[in-house]
Chains A and B, each alone.
Chain A
């Protein structure tokens, strides 16, 4: 603890001198005098081990630091709850979003993000104009793929990255990510390269801010989902239970709210739900119901009768039982509400919030917007704690801070694969976890990304002109704080980074390293 305490004292003394506005003393700061790099390294490590073992509750340092720092810097007067709203709505609270939110105020900014289709996103659309396959049918994708090109796959992944980073419809993109995990589909299975892009467009993006019952039904009709969860060969002679089970366990109710008997009955309801297999048909790969494979006998699902002689409507009956019925929909509403709250509000949402979420669902026929609005309300968000950025969020936020115009993203895909978070690459049906415990232990891949992204010939290549040329270290730091941290960099990170660029103020290389270190720092991992 000794070295750490000394270090922190020096940092605070140093900051004092900084705010006293004496540039001479800053240049000659004895911040690290008498302390070697190794001391810092092992001192930090030692202290961290001790602190970590104490199991301190998460302190809301970000909000405190924000208000303190805001008073000193450009971001004057932004309400910390409003800032948190921007952080929760976006993949990175950059200058553009923060200014927008300040102009609009809390309620108007939230309404603006919710009414996403009113937001002019023509720049984004122009960027994607070359991505032909985003408009293809499954058959067109397959024809392209038959010719041995992987464009349909890369266009899906690259457009996902591009949209998350640069679309103005940020909250919508965040919900697209949420539903992509909720209705997870692993793209390496069978001919999923041709089916998942259609699911992405017609299910996830079409309904991400619509109603849950419609989204659920669309997902169940999606050939990608039916193939992923093995429903496509399911027939009355051989019903396959995989989709039936995950439909209840993962998509609507959660484990413990249905029986094995329900799984078997639901599986019977979905017999014959498959896709057009005829390669000669232009509708290859679209939903198709095979009546001869359907089990037309009577079924009983979660206490509801599904009458005999049913056809394709049996499946829709199941969706309605799960998402609309008086007896079952409340379970679904709580399950979905809790998960959205975990996504937008924070880890382990309290019962009262889950109650409000369920109420929003049940009072609106499952409106997703209503639930999102509840989770992001000022009342609730003022009680929220920071969340750890998942690797995708982390990488995208680094892109939003230093824009790039080069639509070439192999480097980003590679970085995401090293972090275990490449889009559409999670094999089991539960989707990438939204949990601190899952992602928090793996920091090295983040640091490696930070070490490469602004210094190497990395794709995309960023516009770093603001950080180049004849600018003083302090000026550099202020720009870094403004652009990367929205003005709320922690005192320690700021002191460390300033010292790093001061070591050799004329080195462009060192400044680029400092940018990478900035995103690797502790403070940048949270939102």
Chain B
């Protein structure tokens, strides 16, 4: 049987982490601070609070492919064609065993190091209690953190940041959406801005008149509609701040190699941003394409490639951040719903209910799969067709908010809900 440990990605293992850290420490001692560090220090006192990175898998990711319940015969009965074979199978697509019951597809081997180091946790049979099977309603519920309240626009991360002092009192940017617009989870956040490309945020045109032009826009918006004033002010202050971080020359620690995709690059820039310690507390990243109604291809092809992009990115980020152990972070990967447990007739799966969630961080109690597995037999399925939810996703997020983000205002962050903690974070 192949396990995650035995097959950990070869590239990561050529050098041990200890060697990597020795090398980078020596280099730093000789040449001084790396070039990409901000030339102006914005950093305040060091904080032990984690920087939160939320990843939303848009479209409803198939939890049964991301974290395979190979120990449940029901899985193979419901997915005769769209399964990942058992770890002891002779198939070249046999999954990598995690704990004797769950496994991951081989294309996700990029996360093996993080899992083996105890920094990566799967939570299974989880999700939001919303039953609509609608992408948009389910996303709203997950990102606002409160089911079906049309009057609530703010997101759970937004309310978290609203109800806690900034890590750095001088911070001019507390939350970043690596996106062309703010995700709903960040709505309401103080000092939040969408920055589609962190490496390139500024005004084009002639350098000589740059400051003058920015000043003019600042004055125009300050006197203009109140609805755009804050956005404009945040934008302008952020220009200078991001300019001071040399994203272009950022060299990841441990030779971590991020996939050369928008998602991969977003994480690479996020690592630079966190290491620069300018007071950013939350980063939101999206990756779409998970709505696999037809031709899902979990073993090889469409979904397999998408899962690989996700895993390689998380793996690279984990290796990169290990180079600076003083920077605490937590990544939470979620999706609006899982997919129907049985495959449909078009080699895909339709909108379902329960799914899987991934937490990764240097204070996550990982290296395991957290699940109160409901089973996949007919009478165990939700509405006769879906993986049931036995852990509300808010339990996981609330525990992180309280223990890793230092915010105990859980009734504001997740209104009308009393979360139960499951030991997601290290005691």
- A237 to chain B: which residues have CB within 8 Å? 345
Q: Is the CB of A54 within 8 A of B226?
A: yes
Q: Is A155 an interface residue (CB 8 A)?
A: no
Q: Is the CB of B232 within 8 A of A443?
A: yes
Bound complex: CA A421 to CA B196 (Å): 13
With contact pairs A238-B345, A441-B181 given, residues A490 and B196 touching in the complex (Cβ less than 8 Å): no
Bound complex: CA A445 to CA B239 (Å): 12
Bound complex: CA A98 to CA B206 (Å): 35
- Per-position binary interface string of chain B over residues 209-241, scored 1 when its CB falls under 8 Å from any chain A CB and 0 otherwise: 101111111111111111111111111110100
Bound complex: CA A451 to CA B351 (Å): 44
Whole-angstrom distance from the CB of A66 to the nearest CB of chain B? 14
The 19 sampled A-B contact pairs (Cβ below 8 Å) are A40-B215, A41-B236, A42-B218, A44-B218, A48-B222, A52-B230, A245-B134, A249-B136, A260-B131, A428-B288, A443-B221, A444-B235, A451-B205, A451-B213, A452-B204, A492-B220, A492-B224, A493-B223, A517-B213
13 other A-B residue contacts (CB within 8 Å) besides A41-B219, A52-B229, A523-B224 = A40-B216, A42-B218, A43-B219, A49-B229, A49-B230, A230-B348, A238-B345, A241-B350, A255-B134, A255-B136, A388-B227, A436-B227, A526-B225
- Per-position binary interface string of chain A over residues 502-515, scored 1 when its CB falls under 8 Å from any chain B CB and 0 otherwise: 00000001100100
Residue of B131, B217, B234, B346 touching A517 (CB-CB under 8 A): B217
Q: Is B293 an interface residue (CB 8 A)?
A: yes
Q: Is A411 an interface residue (CB 8 A)?
A: no
Residue of B133, B196, B218, B219 touching A445 (CB-CB under 8 A): B196
Q: Is the CB of B232 within 8 A of A516?
A: no
- B residues 280-309 near A (Cβ < 8 Å) are 288-289, 291, 293-294
Bound complex: CA A500 to CA B234 (Å): 23
Enumerate chain B interface residues (CB-CB to A < 8 A).
58-59, 131-137, 153, 179-182, 187, 192-196, 201, 203-206, 209, 211-237, 239, 288-289, 291, 293-294, 344-346, 348, 350-351, 383
Bound complex: CA A51 to CA B226 (Å): 7
| Stretch of A56-64, A130-138, A141-149, A326-334 contacting B (4+ beta carbons < 8 Å) | A56-64
List the A residue with the shortest CB-CB distance to B350. A241
Whole-angstrom distance from the CB of A162 to the nearest CB of chain B? 24
Q: Is A439 an interface residue (CB 8 A)?
A: yes
Q: Is the CB of B222 within 8 A of A59?
A: no
With contact pairs A48-B229, A523-B224 given, residues A509 and B206 touching in the complex (Cβ less than 8 Å): yes
Q: Is the CB of B58 within 8 A of A44?
A: no
Q: Is A4 an interface residue (CB 8 A)?
A: yes
With contact pairs A44-B233, A59-B226, A255-B134 given, residues A37 and B211 touching in the complex (Cβ less than 8 Å): yes
With contact pairs A40-B218, A428-B59 given, residues A234 and B346 touching in the complex (Cβ less than 8 Å): yes
List the B residue with the shortest CB-CB distance to A7. B219
With contact pairs A37-B212, A44-B221, A442-B194 given, residues A51 and B229 touching in the complex (Cβ less than 8 Å): yes
Bound complex: CA A437 to CA B132 (Å): 24
Bound complex: CA A507 to CA B11 (Å): 57
Whole-angstrom distance from the CB of A28 to the nearest CB of chain B? 20
Bound complex: CA A523 to CA B217 (Å): 11
List the A residue with the shortest CB-CB distance to B179. A420
Q: Is A406 an interface residue (CB 8 A)?
A: no
Q: Is the CB of A441 within 8 A of B194?
A: yes
Q: Is the CB of B136 within 8 A of A430?
A: yes
List the B residue with the shortest CB-CB distance to A60. B225
Q: Is A522 an interface residue (CB 8 A)?
A: yes
In the complex, how many residues of chain A place their beta carbon closer than 8 angstroms to a beta carbon of chain B? 84
Q: Is the CB of B226 within 8 A of A443?
A: no
Q: Is A448 an interface residue (CB 8 A)?
A: yes
Q: Is the CB of B351 within 8 A of A245?
A: yes
Q: Is A233 an interface residue (CB 8 A)?
A: yes
Whole-angstrom distance from the CB of A208 to the nearest CB of chain B? 24
Residue of B136, B137, B223 touching A492 (CB-CB under 8 A): B223
Q: Is the CB of B203 within 8 A of A48?
A: no
Residue of B137, B215, B217 touching A447 (CB-CB under 8 A): B217
Residue of B206, B224, B234 touching A521 (CB-CB under 8 A): B224
Q: Is A240 an interface residue (CB 8 A)?
A: yes
- A439 to chain B: which residues have CB within 8 Å? 181
Bound complex: CA A181 to CA B203 (Å): 30
Whole-angstrom distance from the CB of B307 to the nearest CB of chain A? 18
Q: Is A356 an interface residue (CB 8 A)?
A: no
Q: Is the CB of B222 within 8 A of A521?
A: no
- Interface class of chain A by DSSP: helix
List the B residue with the shortest CB-CB distance to A521. B220
Whole-angstrom distance from the CB of B336 to the nearest CB of chain A? 10
Bound complex: CA A509 to CA B179 (Å): 33
Q: Is the CB of B232 within 8 A of A48?
A: yes
With contact pairs A38-B211, A492-B224 given, residues A255 and B132 touching in the complex (Cβ less than 8 Å): yes
Bound complex: CA A58 to CA B228 (Å): 10
Q: Is the CB of A448 within 8 A of B230?
A: no
Q: Is the CB of A245 within 8 A of B133?
A: yes
Whole-angstrom distance from the CB of B40 to the nearest CB of chain A? 14
- B294 to chain A: which residues have CB within 8 Å? 230, 233, 240
With contact pairs A44-B218, A255-B132, A428-B58 given, residues A441 and B182 touching in the complex (Cβ less than 8 Å): yes
- A55 to chain B: which residues have CB within 8 Å? 226
Instruction: Give the 7 A-B CB pairs with smallest separation, nearest first.
Output: A238-B345, A522-B224, A52-B230, A420-B180, A44-B218, A48-B233, A44-B222
- A residues 203-259 near B (Cβ < 8 Å) are 230, 233-235, 237-242, 245, 249, 255-256
Whole-angstrom distance from the CB of A217 to the nearest CB of chain B? 23
With contact pairs A48-B230, A428-B59, A452-B204 given, residues A437 and B219 touching in the complex (Cβ less than 8 Å): no
Bound complex: CA A521 to CA B224 (Å): 9
Q: Is the CB of A496 within 8 A of B346?
A: no
Q: Is the CB of A441 within 8 A of B236?
A: no
- Per-position binary interface string of chain A over residues 167-197, scored 1 when its CB falls under 8 Å from any chain B CB and 0 otherwise: 0000000000000000000000000000000
With contact pairs A437-B153, A526-B225 given, residues A517 and B235 touching in the complex (Cβ less than 8 Å): no
With contact pairs A37-B212, A233-B346, A234-B346 given, residues A444 and B230 touching in the complex (Cβ less than 8 Å): no
Whole-angstrom distance from the CB of B146 to the nearest CB of chain A? 16
Whole-angstrom distance from the CB of A504 to the nearest CB of chain B? 10
Q: Is the CB of B205 within 8 A of A455?
A: yes
Q: Is the CB of A513 within 8 A of B205?
A: yes
- B196 to chain A: which residues have CB within 8 Å? 418, 420, 442, 445
List the A residue with the shortest CB-CB distance to B177. A441
Bound complex: CA A513 to CA B349 (Å): 53
- B213 to chain A: which residues have CB within 8 Å? 451, 513, 517
Bound complex: CA A43 to CA B203 (Å): 19
Q: Is the CB of B222 within 8 A of A45?
A: yes
Q: Is A386 an interface residue (CB 8 A)?
A: yes
Whole-angstrom distance from the CB of B131 to the nearest CB of chain A? 8
Whole-angstrom distance from the CB of B342 to the nearest CB of chain A? 11
Q: Is the CB of A496 within 8 A of B345?
A: no
Bound complex: CA A496 to CA B212 (Å): 11
- B137 to chain A: which residues have CB within 8 Å? 255
List the B residue with the shortest CB-CB distance to A40. B215
Q: Is A364 an interface residue (CB 8 A)?
A: no
With contact pairs A240-B294, A255-B134, A438-B181 given, residues A41 and B214 touching in the complex (Cβ less than 8 Å): yes
Most buried by A among B196, B203, B221: B221
With contact pairs A233-B294, A441-B231, A513-B213 given, residues A61 and B225 touching in the complex (Cβ less than 8 Å): yes
- B224 to chain A: which residues have CB within 8 Å? 61, 490, 492-493, 521-523
Bound complex: CA A78 to CA B29 (Å): 70
With contact pairs A238-B344, A492-B223 given, residues A260 and B204 touching in the complex (Cβ less than 8 Å): no
Whole-angstrom distance from the CB of A436 to the nearest CB of chain B? 6
Q: Is the CB of A428 within 8 A of B346?
A: no
Q: Is A104 an interface residue (CB 8 A)?
A: no
- B193 to chain A: which residues have CB within 8 Å? 441
Whole-angstrom distance from the CB of B211 to the nearest CB of chain A? 5
Q: Is the CB of A445 within 8 A of B217?
A: no
Whole-angstrom distance from the CB of B293 to the nearest CB of chain A? 4
List the A residue with the shortest CB-CB distance to B188. A437
- B231 to chain A: which residues have CB within 8 Å? 52, 440-443
Bound complex: CA A490 to CA B216 (Å): 14
List the A residue with the shortest CB-CB distance to B197. A418
- B204 to chain A: which residues have CB within 8 Å? 448, 451-452, 456
